[in-house]
Amino acid sequence: MATEKIVQPGDVTQRVGVEVIRARGVDVDKLIKMLVANAAAEFASTYYYYTILRMNLAGHEDYKEICEDARLEDRAHWELIVPRIYELGGHLPNDLKEFHDQAGCRAAKLPDPPTAVNILTLLLESERCAIRSWSAVCDITFGKDPRTYDLAARILNEEIEHEAWFIELLAQERDGKSIPSGHFRRGEPGEAPYSKNRGFYNP
Amino acid sequence: METPDGLRSFDCGEDEHIWDAAASHQITLPATCHQGRCLTCAGRLLAGSVDHDHADAYFAQDEEEDYILLCRAMPRSDLHIRTHQEWEMREHRIASGLPAPYA
């Protein structure tokens, strides 16, 4: 482990919470960029566009409900991770377009035609990008930065559930096949059991 | 393909993404989004030509500088590619005033 940079008593220009993870090998500048890109994907690539996707699932009330859970949980992910960006000494771009352009995942724009199959396919691939993006954060923080790792792992848990939901729905809608996700279990919409630290479904 | 581990050669179908073909030949390349957006998989085309299959963000300026996105690029000829160009491509994007995720 590298020597930790000494922060003098009363010094508010340095953060022990940053220096301890830097000393353990975390590239903090890179981590901040990853968190900004992932926050942008949660907020600008999914939450915003999932709102539109949900509006266009008329006649598929079950899909609308699941889309709503994913939409609100992605917003919860945004809320969960943004404070960590600032704790690490980073910040959000002071321009929404610049923030959108930082997103590491494709914007989930309404497909043409906006059929249930096309929307479910888009939702599935959006969740897959999120899984890859949060796994990358887990990879660089594991064993070095327990706070970021914990936040990223909570988000990753929910993204993996979202993928399973949309596999189940798309397989049934498109292929007439049953590929169970496990349980769709949420209480109120967007319950976010991991990222809001609520009880898991375990009857 | 020029990789940090040395030169590697493999076959890739014309409808196959180069990243996928590399993976099927046990060549692990960086990638995150697999949507042609995040630039993690960027490479430099040293010879040959490719098409990009629905890359989310690939610009004429990228093509002019021979940057390619291996997760969405498909071969149109024999190719010579330098891998692991994500940070070079992000610098190019910034210099060109184009989106550069993770930069």
- Please spell the DSSP secondary structure of A142-186, one letter per residue: TTT-HHHHHHHHHHHHHHHHHHHHHHHHHIIIII------S----
Q: Which helix (H) or strand (E) holds A191?
A: none
pLDDT tens readout for residues B6-30: 999 999 999 999 999 999 999 999 9
- Counting one residue from chain A and one from chain B, the pairs whose CB atoms sit within 8 A come to 46
Q: CATH homologous superfamily for A26-175? A: Ferritin, core subunit, four-helix bundle (1.20.1260.10)
Classify burial at B78, counting beta carbons within 10 Å of its beta carbon; exposed 0-12, middle 13-18, buried 19 or more. exposed
pLDDT tens readout for residues A80-106: 999 999 999 999 999 999 999 999 999
pLDDT tens readout for residues A127-166: 999 999 999 999 999 999 999 999 999 999 999 999 999 9
* pLDDT mean across residues, chain A: 95
B35/A contact by beta carbon, under 8 A? yes
Task: Answer whether B34 sits within 8 Å of A133, measured CB to CB.
Answer: no
Tokens of B14: 């014309």
CB A24 within 8 A of CB A3: no
Nearest to A35 by CA among A24, A23, A43: A43
Q: Distance (Å) from the C-alpha of residue B88 to the closest C-alpha of chain A?
A: 15
Task: Answer whether A105 sits within 8 Å of B103, measured CB to CB.
Answer: no
CB A98 within 8 A of CB A84: no
For A125, the closest chain B residue by CA position comes to B35
Distance CA(B37)–CA(A41), nearest Å, equals 11
Handedness of CA A12, A17, A23, A25 (dihedral sign): negative
Task: Answer whether B34 sits within 8 Å of A128, measured CB to CB.
Answer: yes
Classify burial at A177, counting beta carbons within 10 Å of its beta carbon; exposed 0-12, middle 13-18, buried 19 or more. exposed
List the single best residue of B29, B33, B54 to mutate versus A (max A Cβ within 10 A): B33
With beta carbons under 8 A apart, name residues in chain A contacting B91: none
A128/B contact by beta carbon, under 8 A? yes
Angle at A47 between CA B38 and CA A150, to 5 degrees: 70
The one-character DSSP state at A42 is I
Domain-wise residue ranges, chain B? 7-95
Q: CATH homologous superfamily for B7-95? A: Beta-grasp domain (3.10.20.30)
Model pTM?
A: 0.95
Looking at this predicted complex, what is its ipTM? 0.92
Distance CA(A27)–CA(A190), nearest Å, equals 33
Q: Distance (Å) from the C-alpha of residue B16 to the closest C-alpha of chain A?
A: 18
A131/B contact by beta carbon, under 8 A? no
